[in-house]
Amino acid sequence: MSYKLSQLAPLPQLKNVEIGSTIGHGGFGMVKSAVVKKNNTTKVIAVKFVHIQMAKQQNVSTDMLAREAFIQKECHHRNIIQLIDFGADKNWVWMAMELGDNGELFDKIEPDLGVDEDVAQFYFIQLINAVSFIHSKGVAHRDIKPENLVLDKNGNLKLTDFGLASVFKKRNGPKRLCTTACGSPPYLAPEVVTQSYDPEVSDLWSCAIVLFVLLTGKIAWEMPHEDDADFKHFIKNKGDVLIDPWNQIPIGALSLLRKILNPNPENRISMNEIKTQPWVAKKNRFINDSGMCKDPLQLTARLLVNLYINISDQEFNKVNQMATQASNVAAGSQPMLYLMDDMHRNTIYKENYQVLKGFSSSQEVYTEHSKRKKLKKEPSENELTFNLISKDPAALQFISGSSIKSRESKISDKMKQLQDQQSRYPELFAENFTRFFSIAPLDQLIITILEALNKLGYRNDSSDNDTVVNNLLDNDSTTGIVTIPIHGKDSSNNAFAGNIRVVKMSDNLNARKIEFNKIRSDPLEWRRVFKKVTILCRDVIYVEQLN
């Protein structure tokens, strides 16, 4: 079940703040980019809006939201997203915070592959630094997972979302145990669901699972419970697991994981012990003396080198053969409550928002919430289109190479070209990479997407494609946006939900970006969904050709 933003009370107007596009969705809120104009300076930030009544329906009170804001505001650290300000009116709670300029970390992780050991070590060290700091303040995060790890403009990790955080110790007072089970099942410690627990120790378990996913591109198990076959096998063998993907993990990292992932929290190694483990303490090529990235270009290239969408005949045939008609649709699943931003280039939008003016008048980058400028008809339309798409960082995932080194070199060269783009339009880089581009006629594009969704079982609309296409074309002529719901079961048989938005990039060009917006899904599983649909849509995808 979705609530449309246009049907709710207007968002609060914030002083000196101009609201931009939606960069994150949730069950009862959304995150938008925004521009702060003050003292002749401008700064791009993120603003989280939570609808109070929708939050209450999911047992989240305004007191809980206020506690989240107070805790995050006290946690000043270079690896934690800074909360700038917060407030509320009778309908909305808002939190203005630092923008994660490069979006979610795990949006850049290739499923089933993960990242290089150096990259994994770099991000684990930064995560440990952030968690160690909040623990020193008597705060446990209790929801450490991929969605809550974002990147700044230099590729540094930032911990965010303190909605489930708990103060377990006040100054010199005694440590308090927690009794509320919370967190994402694959990442929470086993004691969290069975007993009162030390949240400081359970946070360490979650950090270890994040490291496992970084190294392998897979979760270790669905839930740390004996009913889970993978977890049961891990416990039975006392962590000495020799099957895939455990046997692919470097020996130093594997030793560390076994020491942290001890099911008995009393036998789990401490934060101080983690920091002195050989794998953690060894020198990292990307980290400087302050614990931050010293080579952003090289780090980005190494991070993205595995993030590749192969649209070859072989991959197309592979996905096509494994796709089954509607067999994966979550037909019996309960409807999920979520808030959908449907406010685009229309009257409602103009009445409820100020137009985003924080970007240069010469801007060529697209955003559905800013006024699209008309591009001059010189040079040719094709040249303008290709130039526009080439400036989007999501195009990096389609760059091919004869080898890993070749692809890494091409990505590094491309990132050098995009440095100015990132400084001018940070909002674009904060968006997720689950998007592709097309210059195909809109009706052909929509038909291709619908056929791919039907084949994969990600759509259960009984309407025929022609009827759906006509309705969607009407939406495009009205708002400039086509939105296609998508839901089903992922590879772990868990329900996912989201939507695909087709957005025209400029008024007088036929180029469009096709965004896959996650509402509810594990980020790795969402990328798997995105890749399958994208590969089946290969005939309508524009891919930049590099020398």
Show which residues are catalytic. Answer: 143
Query: Is residue 48 annotated as involved in ligand binding?
Result: yes
Distance (Å, whole) CA 101 – CA 157: 11
The CB density around residue 40, as the number of other CB atoms within 10 Å, is 5
Non-local (6+) Cβ contacts of 99 within 8 A are 33, 44, 45, 46, 426, 427, 430
- Alpha-carbon span 445 to 536, nearest angstrom: 12
Contact 6, 60 (CB under 8 A): no
Residue 531: Cβ-neighbour burial (10 angstroms; 0-12, 13-18, 19+): buried
| Whole-angstrom distance, CA of residue 324 vs CA of residue 156 | 40
User: What is the C-alpha R_g of the chain?
Assistant: 23
Residues 266 and 204: their CA atoms lie apart, in Å, by 12
Distance of CA 458 to the CA centre of its chain: 20
* Closest to 301 measured CA to CA, from 542, 545, 116: 116
Start-to-end C-alpha separation, the chain: 47
Instruction: Give the whole-angstrom CA distance, residue 268 versus residue 250.
Output: 20
User: Residue with structure tokens 């378990």?
Assistant: 205
Pairwise CA distance, residues 485 & 336, whole Å: 13
Return the sign of the alpha-carbon dihedral for residues 90, 96, 100, 101: positive
Which helix (H) or strand (E) segment is 387 a member of? helix 381-390
Burial of 141 (0-12, 13-18, 19+ CB in 10 A): buried
Side-chain half-sphere exposure of 310, counting CA atoms within 13 A: 14
CB atoms near residue 43 (< 10 Å): 15
Sheet holding 17-25, edge to edge: 17-25, 29-38, 41-51, 92-97, 83-88
Spatial distance between the Cα atoms of 142 and 189, rounded to a whole number of angstroms: 10
Q: Which residues contact 199 (CB under 8 A, 6 or more apart)?
A: 140, 142, 166, 168, 177, 178
Q: Which amino acid is at 293?
A: C
Strand partners, 97: 46, 83
Geometric angle at alpha carbon 510, from 464 and 482, rounded to 5°: 40
Q: Helix, strand or coil for residue 508?
A: coil
Strand partners, 48: 31, 95
Instruction: Count other C-beta atoms under 10 Å from residue 265's C-beta.
Output: 18
Rounded Cα distance, 24 and 97, in Å:
13
Binding-site annotation: residue ranges: 48
Binding-site annotation: residue ranges for ATP: 48
